[in-house]
């Protein structure tokens, strides 16, 4: 006795694959087993399956953690009539996200503030004062035991003291380019590919940084290039007629209040770019964009994070809850590039 089974249509495969993926992360296996050469997928359904396949492959990497909700988000971002570069935007942190955290000897690379703090063009007392501030506040910024609200208050204190010190140092505008050139700012491998691809595909990228806009833009210009599709939300230096620093832009942006600054400069609700890839490295960065429930229903935010030092188990668990896709260690941007390229197809 023989029987025949009619091949599944591509719509059957895509729908079943998405449903299975949302539960177990193996949706693309159905596609591989059931798809036939005689039944090619429509573009949008193929895009969905490729996105699910990407997540399945990422989930096999021992340095990548996938949140249980990531499958549902991927399904929504890549579903019928939703995917593609025309509907995508990227919101990213700068320090220790686009840039590296530590070198092979364990020495920290420079942040935006660090470019100035380690320069020979500022007074010794300034370097000493800011080093003491960092030694006190940096562990608190990444503490696993403090709440978001508690950290926000502490970061207000740190940034206020650090900016006051910098103003008193009489920083000269003409020194900024030299400071960046001589600094230990190090972009992650893949940063150039990421920014070039986003420009080529006309995908907007907004850098939201608690650092210094003047420094980060100078670093990008010197080490990578200039980009028409890029905007920057960060602290800006203000100089007097003689080119000496005398103030900062308001409000001050630190790692735990970025959403306030973003809300003032971005109107996500009116944008056709309702698929957002957010990239960060702190527990404050996932909040750069409003929470999912505070965005219009058709918006989806995929939060991708770096936990540069994954040795603290309690901190790691918090990062795993805060980010949809978590990259463990001070790694390159290969995973981020893969995500952006897949979602932009």
State the catalytic residues: 93, 95
Backbone angles phi, psi at 197, to 5 degrees: -65, -45
What is the torsional sign of CA 178, 179, 185, 191? Answer: negative
User: Bridge-partner residues for 232, per DSSP?
Assistant: 207
Residue 341 buriedness (CB in 10 A; 0-12 / 13-18 / 19+): middle
180 contact partners, CB below 8 Å, separation of at least 6: 115, 215, 218, 219, 222
Q: Computed over its alpha carbons, how large is the radius of gyration of the chain? A: 22
Q: Helix %, strand %, coil % for the chain, to 5? A: 50, 15, 35
Phi, psi of 281 (to 5 degrees): -140, 0
Beta strand pairing status for 88-92 and 205-212? parallel
Handedness of CA 291, 301, 28, 30 (dihedral sign): positive
The DSSP line for 164-193 is: HHHHHTT-BGGGHHHHHHTS---BPTTHHH
């Amino acid at each position: 006795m023989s029987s025949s089974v009619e091949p599944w249509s591509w719509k059957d495969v895509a729908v079943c694959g998405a449903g299975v993926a949302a539960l177990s992360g193996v949706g693309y296996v159905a596609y591989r087993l059931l798809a036939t050469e005689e039944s090619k997928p429509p573009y949008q359904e193929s895009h969905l399956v490729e996105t699910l396949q990407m997540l399945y492959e990422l989930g096999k990497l021992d340095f990548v953690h996938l949140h249980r909700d990531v499958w549902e988000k991927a399904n929504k971002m890549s579903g019928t009539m939703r995917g593609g570069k025309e509907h995508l935007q990227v919101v990213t942190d700068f320090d220790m996200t686009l840039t590296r955290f530590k070198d092979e000897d364990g020495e920290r690379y420079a942040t935006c503030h660090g470019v100035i703090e380690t320069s020979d063009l500022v007074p010794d007392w300034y370097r000493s004062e800011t080093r003491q501030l960092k030694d006190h506040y940096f562990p608190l910024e990444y503490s696993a035991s403090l709440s978001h609200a508690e950290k926000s208050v502490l970061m207000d204190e740190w940034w206020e003291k650090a900016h006051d010190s910098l103003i008193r140092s009489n920083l000269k505008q003409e020194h900024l380019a030299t400071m960046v050139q001589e600094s230990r700012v190090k972009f992650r491998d893949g940063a150039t590919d990421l920014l070039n691809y986003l420009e080529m595909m006309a995908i907007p990228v907004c850098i939201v940084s608690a650092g210094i806009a003047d420094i980060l833009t100078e670093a990008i210009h010197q080490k990578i290039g200039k980009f028409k599709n890029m905007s920057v939300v960060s602290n800006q230096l203000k100089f007097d007629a003689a080119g000496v620093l005398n103030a900062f832009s308001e409000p001050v942006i630190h790692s735990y209040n970025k959403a306030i600054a973003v809300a003032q400069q971005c109107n996500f609700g009116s944008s056709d770019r309702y698929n957002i890839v957010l990239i960060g490295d702190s527990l404050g960065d996932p909040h750069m964009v409003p929470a999912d429930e505070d965005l219009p229903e058709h918006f989806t935010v995929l939060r991708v994070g770096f936990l540069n030092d994954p040795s603290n188990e309690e901190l790691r668990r918090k990062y795993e809850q805060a980010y949809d896709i978590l990259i463990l260690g001070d790694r390159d941007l290969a995973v981020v590039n893969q995500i952006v390229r897949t979602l932009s197809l």
